[in-house]
């Protein structure tokens, strides 16, 4: 098949899991063209697997100091450009559109009467799973932001619904010696000065902080690192714990490796508030609502958790897409969760 694959590039999680599914689809012989939206193209890196791809402005949100800014988000919307990109896209020859909550590709499918599939964490919220801050507008966004004909959601627990476990990079394995004092930090919605003030007093630990710096910088126990998927995963494998926002993919990778977690949800975003709630309810990690030194102190002495042995979900999804039997997900859902044990 010739597949148009939409990737929401606002968060690195969408890119990470789409990378795995696209790789499997290409291995199965399908022709893939990718749309990425929601991020400045100059801020994309290590994109070889996505080629050929197009980038669009799409729809995204503005945040500052750990909180979504509604007014600034509304002011940045360019709906004329958004719909121009949709209606002018040449979709001739495509057999299918797949989207990881990416709105341009979803609407290209609808405009051109192409079948569409949604694969991603957000599609789990179409089912009765635990949510927080689920106001009517947030739920309207879930249903309409990247609507598709068929969808399959991803989550850390099945909640007795037709959803799959997380998609984990195939090469992410417990093959590194753990450094007990090493903590990986990814707080992209926070100010760097605030992160500095929060972590510097904890001199018993080394913090590897991935952010928008141009080059690696070491300042006592704080190690600032530019974005790099390869080095990020290496630091993830040998760290003792992760401090991050409550985005789905990094927390999934940390759970897969058995890393202790401290998550700070982005204020004003239903998905991250719900993720934090589930992490707490399932006893998978700790939560802090603000940058809290007390939470950091408690986290640093907490034990690690048992690794979550998720299967190769990207392979499962790719074969399901290839099958054409998109209405039937019960079989793949049951097999995916069969060997996963919950405490």
pLDDT tens digits along 12-68: 889 999 999 999 999 999 999 999 998 888 878 788 999 999 999 876 655 556 555
3-state class of 195 per DSSP?
helix
Predicted pLDDT of residue 171 = 82
How far apart are the C-alpha atoms of 225 and 215, rounded to whole Å?
7
pTM tops 0.75? yes
For 139-197, write each residue's pLDDT tens digit: 888 999 999 999 999 999 999 999 999 999 888 887 779 999 999 999 998 999 999 99
Q: For residue 337, what are the CA distances in angstroms to 76, 155, 158?
A: 41, 11, 8
Q: Which strands form 53-56's sheet, in the order they lie side by side?
A: 53-56, 31-37, 2-8, 96-100, 116-120, 150-153
Predicted pLDDT of residue 258 = 94
Predicted pLDDT of residue 24 = 97
Higher pLDDT, 121 or 70: 121
**Domains of the chain by start residue, with CATH:** 2-168+311-337 (3.40.50.2000), 182-300 (3.40.50.2000)
Q: For residue 142, what are the CA distances in angstroms to 4, 33, 129, 338?
A: 21, 25, 13, 28
């Amino acid at each position: 098949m010739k597949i148009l694959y939409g990737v929401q590039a606002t968060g690195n999680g969408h890119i990470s899991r789409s990378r795995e599914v696209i790789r499997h689809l290409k291995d199965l012989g399908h022709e893939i063209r990718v749309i990425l939206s929601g991020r400045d193209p100059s801020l994309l890196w290590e994109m070889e697997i996505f080629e050929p791809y197009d980038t669009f402005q799409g729809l995204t949100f503005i945040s500052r100091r750990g909180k979504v800014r509604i007014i600034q988000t509304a002011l940045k919307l360019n709906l004329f450009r958004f719909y121009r990109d949709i209606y002018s896209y040449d979709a001739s020859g495509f057999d299918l559109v797949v989207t990881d909550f990416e709105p341009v590709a979803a609407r290209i499918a609808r405009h051109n009467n192409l079948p569409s599939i949604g694969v991603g964490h957000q599609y789990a919220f179409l089912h009765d799973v635990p949510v927080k801050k689920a106001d009517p507008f947030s739920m309207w966004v879930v249903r309409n932001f990247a609507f598709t004909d068929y969808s399959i959601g991803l989550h850390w627990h099945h909640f007795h619904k037709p959803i799959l476990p997380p998609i984990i990079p195939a090469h992410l394995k417990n093959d590194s010696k753990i450094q007990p004092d090493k903590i990986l930090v990814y707080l992209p919605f926070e100010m760097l000065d605030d992160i500095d003030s929060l972590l510097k007093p904890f001199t018993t630990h080394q913090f590897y902080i991935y952010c928008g710096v141009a080059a690696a910088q070491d300042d006592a126990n704080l190690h600032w690192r530019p974005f790099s998927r390869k080095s990020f995963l290496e630091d993830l494998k040998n760290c003792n714990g992760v401090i991050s926002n409550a985005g789905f993919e990094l927390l999934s990778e940390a759970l897969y490796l058995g890393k202790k977690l401290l998550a700070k949800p982005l204020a004003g975003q239903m998905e991250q508030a719900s993720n934090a709630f589930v992490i707490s309810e399932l006893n998978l990690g700790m939560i802090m609502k603000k940058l809290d030194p007390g939470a950091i102190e408690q986290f640093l002495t907490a034990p690690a958790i048992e690794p979550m042995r998720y299967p190769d979900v990207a392979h499962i999804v790719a074969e399901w897409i290839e099958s054409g039997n998109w209405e039937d997900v019960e079989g793949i859902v049951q097999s995916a969760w069969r060997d996963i044990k919950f405490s």
